[in-house]
Amino acid sequence: MSASESRSTRTRGGASRIVAHAVLLGFGAVLLYPLLFMILAGFFTREEFNRTVLSAFPIPDRPTLANYKSLVTGTVTAAVTKYMGNTILRTVYSTLFAVLTSFLAGFVFSRLKFKGRGALFLVLLATQTIPLTIAIIPTYLEFARFPWAGGNDIFVGGTGILNTWWVYLIGGPAMNIMGMFLVKQSLEKVPIELDEAAKMDGAGTLRLMFQILFPLQLPVVAYIAITTALGTWNDFITPFFYTSSDDLLTLPGAIARLSSISSGAGGTINYPLIITLGLGNTIPAVLIFFFFQRYIVQGLANSGVKG
Amino acid sequence: MQRITAEGVADDRSGGSWKRFIKRHRDALLAAVILTPLIGFWLVVNGFPTMFGFVLGFFDWVGLTDRPSFAGLDNFIAFFQDPLYTGALWRSIWIGALVTVVTQAAGFGAALLMNMPLFGKGIYRTIWYIPAVTSTVATTQIFNLLLSPSNGIINNILISLGKEPIVWQYSVGWSIFWIVVYSVWKGVGAASLLWLAGLQSVDPTLYEAAEVDGAGRMARLRHVTIPGLKPIATFIFITSLVAAIQIYEQVLFITDGGPYSQTEVLVLRIYRDGFWDFNLGMAGASSLIMAILAMSITMIYYRWSSNSDRRTTIPIRGGGASRERK
């Protein structure tokens, strides 16, 4: 390749890079607009927000920090810090649960040989396609009324484990079947000779799993952890449907309640407060994502999703 | 599929029968020890409620205090005779398909750009993904502020331009348009990441070979990238279609099914039956129909992809590890 040719490819690459930057930035700004609107709206008081003719970039006459302060101090209308604490606890628990169970199940299906393995795996995968939303009502009934849960009769009465932490401990996470699938696919790229060598050196199964194979799965594990953490962080279904006390609400649950209560009662929605809660909910999630996003692509590329 | 290893044979001679049993079935026992609690837990939390919901589809159970009575297939017959339900089913399918196509096309385009050696790639990925990590409840409220008929931002802009304001909520077309816009807004970042992972898994030596052969940018896209992406493309389209036919939160919060239930989708109908009308029989029947729809889409995909290309799909027979053990 001559010098002039290489220069021309470089400039062409430079031009297309500028176009790429422009497109990614331009559409990125459109995608971010609702968030920017939220940040601006957070400076409004409820009264001013309701009487302002909203423009695309509303600026309050008398900006207030009260909404933002309530995120940290929890003083204004709601027990915001409590919600935040609940959200964090729940998210940490569900994430650890998902990582551990996905890895264990993925290990079983990639490394152990037993009768019916393929069939069991397929059945588990097939359940993945059943929409979880349709289980909300039966789950409510199960939590409220089944004898083991403290309800007295399947069809009538009882509150069971509703409104207790059990809702989050057992109702939040479940075996992450997508995670199991990804771990299995990724483990199958690790040559079986590695296992054999480790066993030769006297490593037991536990040691093989957690000291040798687990570290090799970090991209996939990170992917599972991030997606689970983000999913749990934003989940409003569990708190909204299965709890009613302030002590158990999470941020998304509180937002859902504030939106539905005020609209259901015919009152005006306290947009600035809801928006601030939404921001308080979004910012940690964005940070989690920003610091770990490269693992998402790497984790996906390492596992079965690739060609 | 029992295979007796050299090690296993040696143990058969030395150990007692109990020990021998454990040694021989070591894998199966270990699998049972790990899987039993996992699957048991899953059955209690997901499996049982889902099955319970399906079973309710064969019962009449209106109101949470009465006892259910067996209804046979009545709920399913009612489902297919009532345009409220068939309409919702049909809308779930076509709105889901529309959301999938638009989201994936935009996501693919973005992934092609993000795959270039650009400064600040991570920032772009984050910016595009941010909508996906926001809370649906909060951001749909922002869309409602944009679309409000009285003080909506878009209408305020239209008025300041001297145009007539539009009451979006009265129009089926506009309502669906905004539901699709919201869904694409929220989904495009995740889609682009999936495509990016796919692009990065295409063998780079193929590009080098194509370049040596004098293939230009478009030729490489056509002859290397797109064929290399075919397996992951079907995976992405099917999983996102299955997810998109189940969207309901944005419908609930943006149009609430209006005007006159003309934008109601099936999962929203299930939700309404269950929590508003306490018609658990119809909710169960609709759930079963939704599940059958979702599962048949997936099954068709696995059938089709295992015929054409079995690399991305779930190993239906045997499994990868046993292949590697050979």
- Note whether B216 contacts A: Cβ–Cβ < 8 A: no
d(CA B189, nearest CA chain A) in Å:
9
The reply to whether A266 and A202 lie within a common domain is yes
Task: Return the sign of the alpha-carbon dihedral for residues B141, B142, B143, B146.
Answer: positive
Q: Which of B63-72, B105-114, B306-315 has the lowest mean pLDDT?
A: B306-315
pLDDT value, residue B85 = 94
Geometric angle at alpha carbon B265, from B263 and B269, rounded to 5°: 110
Please report whether residue A59 resides in a domain. no
- Distance, in Å, from the CA atom of A222 to the CA atom of B256, rounded to the nearest integer, reads 36
Task: Return the sign of the alpha-carbon dihedral for residues A154, A157, A163, A164.
Answer: negative
The reply to whether A277 and A204 lie within a common domain is yes
Peptide bond into B259 cis (omega under 30): yes
Judge whether A161 and A146 are in contact, CB under 8 Å. no
Neighbour count for residue A173 (Cβ, 10 Å): 23
- Note whether B226 contacts A: Cβ–Cβ < 8 A: no
Q: How many structural domains is chain A composed of?
A: 2
Check CB contact under 8 Å for B321 and A293.
Answer: no
Q: Which CATH class is domain B69-325?
A: mainly alpha
Please report whether residue A55 resides in a domain. no
The reply to whether A167 and A284 lie within a common domain is yes
Please report whether residue A244 resides in a domain. yes
User: Which chain B residue has the Cα nearest residue A21?
Assistant: B118
Check CB contact under 8 Å for A278 and B139.
Answer: yes
Judge whether A47 and A41 are in contact, CB under 8 Å. no
Check CB contact under 8 Å for A236 and B135.
Answer: yes
User: How far is CA B199 from its chain centroid?
Assistant: 21
Q: How many residues does chain A have?
A: 307
CATH number at residue A131: 1.10.3720.10
User: Which chain B residue has the Cα nearest residue A175?
Assistant: B42
Please report whether residue A83 resides in a domain. yes
Contacts of A145 (CB under 8 A, 6+ apart): A151, A152, A153, A154, A155, A156, A157, A158, A160
Q: What is the pLDDT of residues B46-70, one digit of tens each?
A: 888 888 888 989 988 876 667 788 8
Residue B81 pLDDT more than 90?
yes
ipTM over 0.95: no
End-to-end CA distance of chain A: 32
Q: What would the two tokens of residue A177 be?
A: 């079947």
Which amino acid is it at A223?
Y
Task: Return the sign of the alpha-carbon dihedral for residues A55, A57, A62, A66.
Answer: positive
Check CB contact under 8 Å for A31 and B128.
Answer: yes
- Distance, in Å, from the CA atom of B74 to the CA atom of B282, rounded to the nearest integer, reads 9
Q: Which domain holds residue A265?
A: 74-302
Judge whether A168 and A90 are in contact, CB under 8 Å. yes
Residue B325 pLDDT more than 50?
no
Please report whether residue A200 resides in a domain. yes
The reply to whether A11 and A131 lie within a common domain is no
Selection from A170, A89, A191, A113 nearest residue B2 by Cα? A113
Query: Which member of B30, B45, B197 has the closest CB to residue A305?
Result: B197
pLDDT value, residue A261 = 57
Q: What is the pLDDT of residues B18-46, one digit of tens each?
A: 888 877 788 888 888 888 888 888 888 88
Residue B71 pLDDT more than 90?
no
Q: What is the pLDDT of residues B151-198, one digit of tens each?
A: 788 888 888 888 888 888 888 899 999 999 999 999 998 899 888 888
The reply to whether A80 and A28 lie within a common domain is no
Task: Name which of A100, A137, A227, A271 to mutate to probe chain B: the one with the most chain B Cβ atoms within 10 A of its Cβ.
Answer: A137
The reply to whether A14 and A97 lie within a common domain is no
Check CB contact under 8 Å for B295 and A130.
Answer: yes
d(CA A303, nearest CA chain B) in Å:
9
The H or E element spanning position A259 is helix A251-264
Please report whether residue A43 resides in a domain. no
Tell me if residue A202 falls in helix, strand or coil. Answer: coil
Judge whether A306 and A223 are in contact, CB under 8 Å. no
pLDDT in tens, chain A (307 residues): 344 444 444 445 678 888 888 888 889 888 889 888 888 888 888 778 877 777 778 888 888 887 777 777 655 455 677 888 888 999 999 999 999 999 999 999 988 888 888 888 888 887 877 777 778 888 888 887 776 655 556 666 667 777 778 878 877 666 788 888 888 888 888 888 888 888 888 888 888 888 888 888 888 888 888 888 888 888 888 888 888 777 888 888 888 887 765 554 445 677 777 777 888 888 888 887 777 777 777 777 666 444 3
Judge whether B92 and B245 are in contact, CB under 8 Å. yes
- Note whether B281 contacts A: Cβ–Cβ < 8 A: no
The reply to whether A163 and A26 lie within a common domain is no
Residue B88 pLDDT more than 90?
yes
The reply to whether A22 and A125 lie within a common domain is no
Work out the average pLDDT over B101-109.
Answer: 94
Domain boundaries, chain B: 6-56, 69-325
Work out the average pLDDT over B92-114.
Answer: 94
Contacts of B102 (CB under 8 A, 6+ apart): B180, B184
Please report whether residue A64 resides in a domain. no
Judge whether B99 and B177 are in contact, CB under 8 Å. no
pLDDT value, residue A8 = 43
The reply to whether A221 and A294 lie within a common domain is yes
Mean pLDDT, all residues of chain A: 78
pLDDT value, residue A221 = 87
Q: What would the two tokens of residue B205 be?
A: 């030596």
Q: Which of A292-301, B78-87, B271-280 has the lowest mean pLDDT?
A: A292-301
- Distance, in Å, from the CA atom of A134 to the CA atom of A155, rounded to the nearest integer, reads 19
Please report whether residue A245 resides in a domain. yes
Work out the average pLDDT over B73-98.
Answer: 93
pLDDT value, residue A5 = 41
Selection from A106, A219, A229, A300 nearest residue B235 by Cα? A300
- Distance, in Å, from the CA atom of A223 to the CA atom of A218, rounded to the nearest integer, reads 8
Cα–Cα separations (whole angstroms), residue A205 to A111, A118, A202, B56, B323? 11, 22, 10, 44, 21
SS3 of chain B: the string is CCCCCHHHHHHHHHCCHHHHHHHHCHHHHHHHHHHHHHHHHHHHHHHHHHHHHHHHCCEECECCCCCCEECCCHHHHHHHHCHHHHHHHHHHHHHHHHHHHHHHHHHHHHHHHHCCCCCCHHHHHHHHHHHHHCCHHHHHHHHHHHHCCCCCHHHHHHHHCCCCCCCHHHCHHHHHHHHHHHHHHHHHHHHHHHHHHHHHCCCHHHHHHHHHCCCCHHHHHHHHHHHHHHHHHHHHHHHHHHHHCCCCHHHHHHCCCCCCCCCCCHHHHHHHHHHCCCEHHHHHHHHHHHHHHHHHHHHHHHHHHHHHCCCCCCCCCCCHHHHHHC
Work out the average pLDDT over B271-295.
Answer: 88
- Distance, in Å, from the CA atom of A169 to the CA atom of A166, rounded to the nearest integer, reads 5
Place of tokens 């309050």: A60
